[in-house]
Amino acid sequence: MATTVYILDDEPNILATLEGCLRDEGFEVVTQSNPLAIEEDLE
């Protein structure tokens, strides 16, 4: 089962760096620019 990381900061530089690093390590990343994924996880 994958670990999901929620990034709530929408600062583009921080977001791109964090998202890229986490995905490289095998984490599933959910950001504010992908709200459908957040809604699906909450159901």
Q: Tell me which residue range forms the domain holding 18.
A: 4-42
C-beta neighbour count of 41 within 10 angstroms: 11
Helix (H) or strand (E) holding 9: none
State the pLDDT at residue 29: 80
State the pLDDT at residue 36: 57
Provide the number of structural domains found in the chain: 1
Q: What is the 3-state secondary structure (H, E, C) of 11-25?
A: CHHHHHHHHHHHHHC
Q: Read off the pTM.
A: 0.51
State the pLDDT at residue 1: 59
Secondary structure of residue 6 in the 3-state scheme: strand
State the pLDDT at residue 16: 81
User: pLDDT digit string (tens) for 1-43?
Assistant: 567 777 776 677 777 888 888 889 888 887 776 655 555 555 5
> Distance between CA atoms of 22 and 37, rounded to whole angstroms?
16
State the pLDDT at residue 35: 57
